[in-house]
Structure 1
Amino acid sequence: MKSALPHRYSEHGQSLIEALVGLGILIILFHAFGSLIIAAYDLLGNSRTRITARQLGNEKIEQLHNLPYASLGVVGGIPQGVIPQQESVDRNGLTYTVRTAVIYIDDPFDQVAPSDLSPADYKRIRVDVSWTGRFVAGESVTLVTDIASNAAAGGGTLAILVFDSSAQPVSQADVTIVNNEVSPPVNLTLQTADDGRIILPGAPTCTNCYQITATKTDFSTDRTYSSLEVTNPAKPHATLIEGQVTEVSFAIDHTSTLIIFSKRDRDFSYGTLPNQIFTLRGGKTIGFDSLGDPVPKYNKQLQTAPTGTLSLSGMEWDSYQLTIPPGAWDLAGTNPLRPVVLYPNTSLDLAFASAVHSPDSLLLAVTDASGSAIASASAHLTGPGNFDETIFTGEANVPDFGQAFFSPLSSGNFTAQITKEGFMPKSDTIEVSGQTESTIQLDSL
């Protein structure tokens, strides 16, 4: 006869499993219910926060509607007024930031400047309310209204255009306008519209007085300059004349990264050269100095780290020249060839080779018709003192790609004969004096 004891243990185990399953279901239900309560609380809180922000915006709009038209503006703005550009308000346990902007609008109904001799047709008010604290939705409440007056506004019209490297308009670019020569002074920051423009009728008139800067997050910066900064600036501070339009344009784009590597020359197998000093100069200019020489926008003496590297972030798109200051070293090649073109929103590696200084040397680059470096071209150089040497231009993965460095030399005229399979041979006479650089272009067969 079989014992019933195992059967009783089986029923007890089954009851325990049922209890655990029931407890798990209750935990899931409680968690879901708690999540629902939290979500509802967040939704209610966010809704209440936005309602409060809208109330603050409406209060500011109402305050502006009650001001005399002549006082309707922000402190340091165009037009000038009595309202601060930014205020902080504590309401319901949160801190709200109220930003106010007031600008003149040139309505196309009666034509626009310069055809419209009175382009300040009405004022447009924009109030942005953002907040910090428990309920931050990552957005702001924005209110816009227009207020008109029967009286005509004087002054000139400041027209600003911001575009990128492809001549496309840049929207939401931050444009700062400062003028300390008028009373009250102007100091405001506005954002460009979708067409990259800001139009400010009714601006106080003055000569070379509006300091304007255009930029954007992760973009380069373009601005006007005074004669104290540059003797003859290419883009001087703006002048406004009564009843006329002053147009100023700025070019900005995404910044890039330039990573620089300093190396020894080919005779030392391109080993790392630490702490190497060099000069990097951009092709863009901001005007001319007192001697009539161009003033580059970027011109800095830099130094690589003990690892022989230097990373330059936030660099503007431009064509850059790298040189080595006179001293212990001569430039023996760069990869890529100079000028180094840096495009917007890119990262570029730039390696340069240095050789021990000699009084006279020749850095010879060999390119095709497009200006691209040619590797493994034979460069045969003959000249004073029975000099006769052949060097092949560097490969694509070395710092002297497409170049041959001859050193030491004597000053005088040398003959360079270049040959490369697939190209027509070419011979050229090069006068060497000091650290000489030359480029020879080969034509395809």
Structure 2
Amino acid sequence: MKMLFLQKQKGFSLLEILIGVFLLMIVFIGIIGAYRVGLRVVSQSRLRVLATALANQRVEFARNLSYVDVGTIGGIPPGVIPETETIARNGVDFIVKTTVVYVDDPFDGEAPADALPNDYKRVKVRVSWDSGTSGDVALISDISPKGLETDIGGGNLFVTVFNAVGIPISEAEVHVVNNDVLPVIDANFETNTDGKVLIAGAPASVEGYEVTVSKTGMSADQTYGTEVVAVPNTPHVTVLEGELTQISFSIDTLGSFSIDTFSPFGGGSFADSFVDASRISASQDIFLSGGAVSLASTTEYVPVGSITSISVGPAELVTWDEFFWNDSEPVDTEIRYRILFFDGLSWGEIPDTDLSGNSVGFINSPVDISGLSTTTYPVLRLYAELTTSNSSSTPLLADWQASWIDGNAIAVPNVDVHVQGAKTIGTDASENPVYKYEADVTTDGGGHADISGWEWDSYTFSIIHPSLSLVDMDPAPQPVTLVPGETKSVSLFVAAENNVLFTVTNSETAEPVFSASVRLTRAISGYDKTQFTNAEGQTIFIPLSSDSYNYEISTAGYQTAAGSVSASGNTARAVTLIPSGL
């Protein structure tokens, strides 16, 4: 007798192995991340040690100079220390920036009460780097003369910097240039916590000091010479011997504009390519097949049939536009079209007094329905009567459409916009104001443009094109106020005497076709422009002359559609694209 022994196998399943590997990966990723952070900290610490050593070297260099030589080359006070140096250490470039200013100590009074505000010199050395990681180190040292303060000659320039509401701006850079004195002055200073900087011992000069005030992320303010503006509001500064000259500047966080250009109206359309019966409200003795409507038949076609669309009632309707269709009428056949309205009890034909020829029926496409009152006729239905006198032949209705203008604004591309602030820097030779902020900008294909880096002010917007007019805007009215640090959205609504709004839809689904290329041309005038439809399948050509234009619409996956359109007033044209392969 044989006995079978079953031995239980021990080990890990594939799932257990995968879970273990995943957990190990999490652990190692954490370790690697911590290691990288540690390396970054070590590297930053090493760079900070090197920068501190460099700053100490420059400070000690200044301390060992004679008092008269403690100053920067081209600075106030003048001296032998370079204002900016690039020094390489261990393969890293360090930027060493040294500033030297006179300090007016409050112990013996401050300017303007203190006639000698040059009590001692303050040396500030800032060392910065940007090598994978960035940072800076700053050291300050005060250096006093061996004896009492003395008259160093020249005058004193006292600069104050504040923001839009008068709060002092600290650490603002004050750049001073004077090419009229020797040695030439080109120096940078920094405001204190009170937004002030005293530049003592400045050589006397009449309108020779060019002063520019700035700070990262903020606007700039400056003096101007006659080479920039004929009569400046703030001319270059004059410093007189033994006198104190005070000047103030205002800067603040930069703002921006987000500009969109629109037509004050949009448009839409009802279209049916008869792929199915979803857009038919009633029919009699007709047959729907292959994307077309024909007379019904068994062995022979019936003599007459009719079809009625569903109700068409656009929201925010401004005006009806056109009713048009595509059909085929062999010999002995005919289709007549009418437009119906609801009188409160039933649907009937719009009377000829409001739409001439409607009772007989229209045979030529398109039909202008822009004269219909939107109050009397807010909702319409399309109606077609198919007839034949030859029982072996039938007319075919391929599609029909009704278009309208509504109050839904649509983006207008490529509009030239002029933006002008209220602040001026002076006047030109003809005594016309010269504005501090003024620019022309063109909106893109989606009717959008951004303007950045502008300071707080009141701004006016205008349209440059002679055939376009600005009819409304949001916010309104002008001017538009921009506060510091704000991104202001501005919508501009433009209009013209003539324009054409295209709405492009899928013939099968009636859904809008996005990014279809719409080319509009008029050979006699040389007009040739291509635009692309938006998410609603629309694009507007504005402004146009009152003429007939040819259009061609194409996009991948669809057959190209072409035709002509007459631009007269606000014109809407609905076009259906047939998918390729149908």
Normalised to the residue count of structure 2, the TM-score between the two structures is 0.54
Q: Map residues 254-403 of structure 1 onto 2, 5 A cutoff.
A: 254-266=253-265, 269=407, 270-325=409-464, 327-336=466-475, 337-356=477-496
Q: Matched residues, percent identical?
A: 35
For the residues of structure 1 that align with 2:492 and 2:38, how far apart are their CA atoms?
62
Q: Which residue of structure 1 lines up, in the alignment, with residue 139 of structure 2?
A: 143
Structure 2 counterpart of 1:427: none
How far 1:341 moved relative to its partner?
0.9
Matched residues in 2 for 1:344 and 1:88: separation? Answer: 35
Q: Is the 8 A contact 2:263 2:493 kept in 1?
A: yes
Q: Distance in 2 between matches of 1:331 and 1:220?
A: 30
Structure 1 residues 37 and 288 mapped into 2: Cα distance closer, same or farther (>3 Å)? closer
Code of the residue aligned with 1:347 in structure 2: it is: T
> What is residue 250 of structure 1 aligned with on the other side?
249
Give 1 or 2: higher helix fraction: 1
**Cα 1:5–1:140, aligned 2, differ >3 Å: closer, same or farther?**
same
Q: Counterparts of 1:76-91 in structure 2 under 5 Å?
A: 76-91=74-89
Shift of 1:348: 1.5
CA deviation after TM superposition for structure 1 residue 357, in Å: 6.3
Q: Against the structure 1 CA distance between its residues 57 and 288, is the aligned structure 2 distance closer, same or farther, given a 3 Å change threshold?
A: same
Distance 1:180 1:272, change over 3 A: same
In structure 2, C-alpha distance between the alignment counterparts of 1:303 and 1:205, rounded to whole Å: 47
Q: Deviations over 1:190-220 (max 9, x none)?
A: 3322221111111121011111111222211
**Structure 2 match to 1:154:** 153
Residue identity opposite 1:334 in structure 2: M
Q: AA paired with 1:179? A: N
Match of 1:126 in 2: 124
Q: Is the Cα contact below 8 Å between 2:437 and 2:454 reproduced in 1? A: no
Partner Cα separation in structure 2 for residue 341 and residue 40 of structure 1: 48
Task: Name 2:51's counterpart in structure 1.
Answer: 53
Deviation, 1:132, is: 4.6
Structure 1: gaps (5+ residues): 359-445
Report the Cα offset of residue 324 of structure 1. Answer: 3.0
Letter in 2 for 1:6: Q
Report deviation, 1:91. 2.9
2:97 is aligned to 99
In structure 2, do the counterparts of structure 1 residues 257 and 41 end up closer, same or farther at CA, with 3 Å as the change threshold? Answer: closer
- Give the drift of 1:354: 2.4
Rounded to whole Å, the distance in 1 between the matches of 2:3 and 2:198 is 100
Cα distance in 1 for residues equivalent to 2:47 and 2:89: 9
Distance 1:212 1:117 in 2: 23
Structure 2 residue matching 1:229: 3-state secondary structure:
coil
In 2: Cα distance, 1:316 partner to 1:44 partner: 41
Gaps of 5+ in 2: 266-317, 319-404, 499-582
How has the CA–CA distance of structure 1 residues 37 and 282 changed in structure 2, closer, same or farther, with 3 Å as cutoff? closer
2: distance between equivalents of 1:113 and 1:183? 26
Q: 1:276 to 1:39 in 2, by over 3 A?
A: closer
Residue 63 of structure 1 pairs with residue 61 of structure 2 = yes
Cα shift readout 1:210-235 (whole Å, capped 9, x = no counterpart): 11111222211111111222222111
Partner of 2:540: none
Within 1, Cα distance between the matches of 2:264 and 2:34?
69
- TM superposition shift of 1:306: 2.8
Q: Note if 1:178 corresponds to 2:177.
A: yes
1:189 aligned partner: 188
Q: Which has the higher contact order (CA 8 A, sep 6+)?
A: 2
Q: Which amino acid aligns with 2:126?
A: D
For the residue of structure 1 that corresponds to 2:411, the secondary structure is: coil
Map 1:202-217 → 2, pairs under 5 A? 202-217=201-216
RMSD: 3.4
Q: Provide the rounded CA distance (Å) in 2 between the counterparts of 1:67 and 1:287.
A: 45
- Residue 36 of structure 1 deviates from its aligned partner by 8.7
- Paired with 2:155 and 2:424, the residues of 1 have a C-alpha distance of 29
Q: Secondary structure at the match of 2:431?
A: coil
Matched residue pairs, number? Answer: 349
Contact 1:163/1:250 (<8 A) preserved: yes
Counterpart CA distance in 2 for 1:169 and 1:51 is: 33
d(CA) in 1 for partners of 2:456, 2:415: 24
Distance in 2 of aligned mates of 1:54 and 1:133 = 16
CA shift in 2, pair 1:96/1:327, >3 Å: closer
Give the TM-score, by structure 1 length.
0.69
User: Which is higher, the Rg of structure 1 or of structure 2?
Assistant: 2
Match of 2:73 among 69, 75, 94: 75
